[in-house]
């Protein structure tokens, strides 16, 4: 589908509501790491430059790397100047709000120094002791950091007018169901649920948020959003990159944990959930949990008919040769780790009974694309002789999440020419074309929401637990290695659809994957 065929103009009937957070300070643990400089700092600067950050704000980076405030600020300037256009004077003002503490995460005295520094900064910037902590750290570090923060009173909250304290956690949320539950025990022993912000950056993307707007702010879709009119749903997250020097993490994690446990299941939940009572965080998250609870369990005996796993072999990406996964630096020569997975899920409720949801994700595919496609049923009868109903392409609603965020509705229409001349027409828009600017970065959206205390786009503990329960039969099967009931299928790097077995997952249902390039 072509997302650049038309450029509709936005209506003047636009309703926008964006709150500005109360004064606060933010502490990033792991401030010298890649995520901080690649995602967090550019997002914070974007919020600052667009006037979304509080008027009273400071940032404190905490890491082991030895740096002074001046060194930290210079690194920020160097990074943002190279990657953010028109930084100008705003960047100079932003870096003045940035401070740094070099210390050991497991040193109790480091947190006494942190507490002292935060009191100083809070008075200097008048942030009323409101603090947002971002743990850009491995989950193994959560417990010692939280315990030390708690012992120093940095997680304490009082009444409604008292200072608030919130903590953002990066995925992964455990490695399996037992480790996830242990992690939640650690969080629950140190924090209240309303203080916990488990971040999944996919939920901050404009098109993911727009799923709810499309469904519940337009009466045209809701009557059709059920098994009577929808044939099936396809959700794809394709990447053309490999593991990008992350062999140590990825080879012990795999694609299923990395993408399905969070991103794909969350997108499916937003597409399929019932209308929430309101847009309030817990109302939305309640419906997502109900939906995931309605997914038909993946029973061990049914796995071969519902799940495919694959691994990329040698191939070409953009005309350039790339190695097989097992040839990547740091990967075991006989690794059975999956770089591709596809599955067929069913939702056992009145709305979706019998409608398959096909999910797939893979690395080293033909292109980078993330999208969800609603495929409607074919017309029951064709009046356009000699065309039969199966000759008419089914209507589709494609929601492109990346790289070109937008929406595309595929319909049948007459083409210029003979009396009987029809084909598919795409009614599409891209956010960048319509609004003349790129959509707000997902991390920026989520950081702003955390400052506002809005948990709508963050994951709740019961949601994560249900997702792990759903995937546990697959993970247990794969732990059997070569005795697994699900063989490892190989596909050439640069493939559009991954292993042939993924095509067969749909072919057996007389369906096929839609192209995403």
Q: Which residues are identified as catalytic? A: 263
CA distance 97 to 80: 15
Polymer length of the chain: 517
Contacts of 472 (CB under 8 A, 6+ apart): 176, 177
**Across-strand partners of 237?**
361, 370
Do the beta carbons of residue 164 and residue 21 sit within 8 Å? no
Place of tokens 């490999």: 242
**Prior bond of 318 cis (ω within 30°):** no
Contacts of 347 (CB under 8 A, 6+ apart): 272, 291, 294, 295, 296, 353, 355, 357
3 state SS of 382: coil
Do the beta carbons of residue 285 and residue 463 sit within 8 Å? yes
In 3D space, the residue among 170, 229, 210 whose CA is nearest the CA of residue 377 turns out to be: 229
Contacts of 85 (CB under 8 A, 6+ apart): none
Do the beta carbons of residue 502 and residue 342 sit within 8 Å? yes
Would you say the C-alpha torsion 474, 356, 286, 200 has a positive or negative sign? Answer: positive
In 3D space, the residue among 5, 24, 215, 208 whose CA is nearest the CA of residue 130 turns out to be: 24
Distance of CA 513 to the CA centre of its chain: 22
DSSP string of 161-205?
Answer: TSPPEEEEEESP--SSHHHHHHHHHHHHHH--GGGEEEE-GGGGS
Provide the edge-to-edge strand list for the sheet that holds 230-238: 422-430, 406-414, 396-402, 369-376, 230-238, 356-362, 340-346, 307-313, 488-492
């Amino acid at each position: 589908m072509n997302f650049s065929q038309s450029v509709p103009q936005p209506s003047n009937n636009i309703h926008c509501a964006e709150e500005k957070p109360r004064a606060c300070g933010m502490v990033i643990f792991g401030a010298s790491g890649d995520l901080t400089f690649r995602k967090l700092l550019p997002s914070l600067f974007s919020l600052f430059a667009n006037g979304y950050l509080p008027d009273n704000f400071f940032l404190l980076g905490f890491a082991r790397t030895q740096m002074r405030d001046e060194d930290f600020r210079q690194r920020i300037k160097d990074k943002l100047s190279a990657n953010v256009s028109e930084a100008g004077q705003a960047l100079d003002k932003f870096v003045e709000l940035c401070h740094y503490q070099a210390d050991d995460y497991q040193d109790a005295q480091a947190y006494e120094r942190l507490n002292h520094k935060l009191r100083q900064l809070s008075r200097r910037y008048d942030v009323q002791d409101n603090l947002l902590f971002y743990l850009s750290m491995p989950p193994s570090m959560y417990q010692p950091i939280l315990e030390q923060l708690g012992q120093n009173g940095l997680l304490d909250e009082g009444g409604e007018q008292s200072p608030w304290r919130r903590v953002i956690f990066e995925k992964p949320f455990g490695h399996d169901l037992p480790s996830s539950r242990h992690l939640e025990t650690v969080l629950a022993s140190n924090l209240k649920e309303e203080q916990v912000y488990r971040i999944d950056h996919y939920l901050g993307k404009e098109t993911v948020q727009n799923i709810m707007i499309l469904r519940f702010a337009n009466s045209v879709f809701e009557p059709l959003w059920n098994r009577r009119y929808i044939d099936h749903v396809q959700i794809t997250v394709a990447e053309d990159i490999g593991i990008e020097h992350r062999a140590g993490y990825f080879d012990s994690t795999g694609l299923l944990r990395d993408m399905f446990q969070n991103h794909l299941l969350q997108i499916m939940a937003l597409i399929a959930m019932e209308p929430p009572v309101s847009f309030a965080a817990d109302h939305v998250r309640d419906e997502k949990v109900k939906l995931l609870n309605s997914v038909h369990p993946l029973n061990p005996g049914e796995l071969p008919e519902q799940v495919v796993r694959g691994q990329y072999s040698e191939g070409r990406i953009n005309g350039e040769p790339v190695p097989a996964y097992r040839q990547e630096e740091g990967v075991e020569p006989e690794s059975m780790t999956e770089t591709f997975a596809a599955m067929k899920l069913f939702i056992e409720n009145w709305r979706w009974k019998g409608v398959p949801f096909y999910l797939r994700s893979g690395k080293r595919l033909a292109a980078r694309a993330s999208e969800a496609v609603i495929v409607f049923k074919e017309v029951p009868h064709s009046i356009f002789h000699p065309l039969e109903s199966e000759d008419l392409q089914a209507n589709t609603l494609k929601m492109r999440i990346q790289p070109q965020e937008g929406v595309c509705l595929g319909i049948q229409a007459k083409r210029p020419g003979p009396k009987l001349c029809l084909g598919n027409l795409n009614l599409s828009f891209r956010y960048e074309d319509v609004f003349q600017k790129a959509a707000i970065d997902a991390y920026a959206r989520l950081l702003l929401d955390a400052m506002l205390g809005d948990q709508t786009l963050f994951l709740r503990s019961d949601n994560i637990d249900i997702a792990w329960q759903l995937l546990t039969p697959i993970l247990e099967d794969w732990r059997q290695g070569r005795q697994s009931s699900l063989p490892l299928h190989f596909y050439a790097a640069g493939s559009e659809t991954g292993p042939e077995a993924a095509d067969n997952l749909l072919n057996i249902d007389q369906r096929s994957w839609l192209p995403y390039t």
